[in-house]
Structure 1
């Protein structure tokens, strides 16, 4: 089997796991083609995952979309190579009012995200800054905050705190240690969560954070949200 055949098979398997419209698939094709091109000079994804890029990264990201309901305002933290942020934007591109913000401090990765958003015509704003710097000023009105492979849960909750405090729901892609991360996070957070098994990885999970209240002030300066407290 050639590399092209392998890639086509992986794409077909990914879109079987996470079906999308023809228009969305075309946008995803544009993103993947650009990523493969930029990957030659910038490490956007682990090289070992390139043969299964569609199932490992694209389908993995797409599974967040139905969990978000009709949400249109989305912030993705530490977007890196565009997962899940660019993929989510491709899926929501035709939804009225869709507004996806990607926060990425690495200037080269931010440049890739901007170019991908341009060629795929995505409703995306890229912020090339540290999450701590921009979170508090962009949190108002955000419905979903997401992240993938960014940080252990206690730290991730700190980074997401400005959004969670204003009512956003967290959608975080996690691995097999999610239970241990939740145990550690519960030492400093009062959280209301739900765990769903991954569509693409039997050891993976989607952690849904419906509410989170710090038991002490966070480094982000977020204040507790009594309305979102866990019973």
Structure 2
């Protein structure tokens, strides 16, 4: 690891208050990601140099948004890709994490990071919502997603694993307010919004009691 990466790692550790052991797992994760990036496109090539803030810190900030009274059950990171945000949250201690992605190559990468960091996470190579309609997945306690789809489409994707107690936390960009308005045409939900720590226009959306207009989640 070069001097600049060491500084970025140290700043990250201070920002999210992780132990040296946890930081070592993130450093290993970063090394594996940069190595695999040469083979497959895991992240945008122009974000590799800002990995610690653009991806790790951006994902880690969700820990402060997770409800303290979250019910026990599966946590799904839909469209996990390179592991953002789900793998970051799992390394920070969030249990029952399922990293779901339709790209088998990315799933191989995720499995390798999970194995080498010995983190509590399960990798699933699947495309939502096709498999969920076959009732193969238990209802979620928490669903997280980052840069996957506009909010109305995202709710379509994850609804098969939503129950009345499921919490959804989504990282969104500058169009978040319009996406919320669009989603309300077809969906009912309680909403909390927080400013992103890493993006001037970024928002964190926390949805609960999600149901389709005229129906309810079971």
Q: Would you call these one fold, judging by a TM-score over 0.5?
A: yes
Deviates more, 1:22-31 or 1:174-183: 22-31
Q: Which moved more, 1:196-205 or 1:143-152?
A: 196-205
Pairwise mapping of residues 28-47 of structure 1 onto structure 2 (< 5 A)?
A: 28-47=26-45
Q: Give the one of 24, 27, 37 matched to 2:25.
A: 27
1:171 aligns with 2:163: no
Distance 1:201-1:17 versus aligned 2 partners, 3 A rule = farther
Give SS of 1:102's match.
strand
| 1:8-53 deviation per Cα after TM superposition (whole angstroms, max 9, x unaligned) | 2322332332221222111111111110110001110001011110
Q: How far apart are residue 167 of structure 1 and its match?
A: 2.0
1:139 aligns with 2:131: no
Partner of 1:76: 77
How does 1:71-110 map onto structure 2 within 5 Å? Answer: 71=70, 73-92=74-93, 98-110=95-107
- Pick which of 53-62 and 67-76 moved more: 67-76
Question: TM-score, normalization: structure 1?
Answer: 0.86
5+ unaligned residues in a row in structure 1: which ranges?
A: 217-222, 227-231
3-state DSSP class of the match of 1:191? strand
Residue in 2 that maps onto 1:56: 54
Equivalent pairs, count: 213
Q: Which residue does 1:219 correspond to in 2?
A: none
Report the secondary structure of 2:130's partner residue: helix
1:149 aligns to what?
A: 147
CA distance in 2, matches of 1:21, 1:83: 20
Q: How many angstroms does 1:175 deviate by?
A: 0.7
Give 4+ residue runs of structure 1 displaced > 4 Å after superposition.
none
For structure 2, which runs of at least 5 residues remain unmatched after alignment? Answer: none
In 2: Cα distance, 1:85 partner to 1:163 partner: 16
CA contact (8 A) 1:11 1:55 kept: no
